[in-house]
Amino acid sequence: MSLRIGDDAPNFTAQTTEGEIDFHQWLGNSWGIIYSHPADYTPVCTTELGRTAHLKEDFAKRDTKVLAVSVDDLESHKGWVKDINETQNCDVDFPIIADPDKKVSTLYNMIHPNASTSATVRSVYFIGPDKKIKAIITYPASTGRNFTEILRVIDSLQLTAKHSVATPVDWKEGEDVIIAPAIKQEDVEGKFPKGHRVIKPYLRYTPQPDK
């Protein structure tokens, strides 16, 4: 059965470039991203892992840990990391899971038989501190991920987890948000003291509550 938003994120133990980890224990009370790569020494993945390394501080300030998975073995990963650091001018210091038996890839439904029976698609799972899946983005193997969007999704998930709001189309950190329909109009002023504007009874905007 494929994983869906709201499901428990399956736990596992695995060997990684940063040592053996128990996923849930490693995640602790942080947010997490686990994302897959079709194989080592592939060009698009090399750029993605380099980009992840460059965004280290951006993930840290969002209290988000990143974990990559590729179906090759640990020795292959170690050699690939050297190439990534060299070609992307970075320092990859986050874990990359060695998954030659495809245990983690299968657990997280990262192998789609109609695309490939062996290589993973580019899945991204966003996982909350409660160890539940909050969002999923899946790209084909040929399309590199948009990390600006990945950070935007984290910002939205963290904001909407704390406040009774939703984020509108193309929303970015600091912009107005939408008041959840479940909030009664008579309760809006008390709940959103920064003010609000009503476009339609079901479409109400307010400044981002935590800014």
List, for residues 82-132, the tens digit of each pLDDT value.
999 999 999 999 999 999 998 998 899 887 655 554 555 688 999 999 999
| CB distance 102 to 137 below 8 Å | no
Which residue has tokens 């190439």?
83
Query: d(Cα 34, Cα 25) in Å, to the nearest integer?
Result: 14
Task: Say how many domains are in the chain.
Answer: 2
- The confidence score (pLDDT) of residue 117 equals 47
Residue in 45, 84, 92, 124 annotated catalytic: 45
Q: What is the CATH number of the domain that holds 187?
A: 3.30.1020.10
- The confidence score (pLDDT) of residue 120 equals 59
- The confidence score (pLDDT) of residue 64 equals 98
Are both 135 and 51 inside the same structural domain? Answer: yes
Return the percentage of the chain with pLDDT > 90, whole number: 82
Are both 26 and 119 inside the same structural domain? Answer: yes
Is the model's pLDDT at 140 over the cut of 90?
no
- The parent domain of residue 87 ranges over 13-145
Instruction: Determine whether 90 is an active site residue.
Output: no
Are both 28 and 115 inside the same structural domain? Answer: yes
Are both 25 and 114 inside the same structural domain? Answer: yes
Higher pLDDT, 130 or 142: 130
Q: What is the CATH number of the domain that holds 36?
A: 3.40.30.10
Are both 30 and 132 inside the same structural domain? Answer: yes
Parallel, antiparallel, or unpaired for β 96-98 and 122-127?
unpaired
Are both 116 and 194 inside the same structural domain? Answer: no
pLDDT digits (tens, 9 = 90+) for 20-66: 999 999 999 999 999 988 888 989 999 999 999 999 999 999 999 99
- The confidence score (pLDDT) of residue 8 equals 97
Are both 28 and 118 inside the same structural domain? Answer: yes
- The confidence score (pLDDT) of residue 9 equals 97
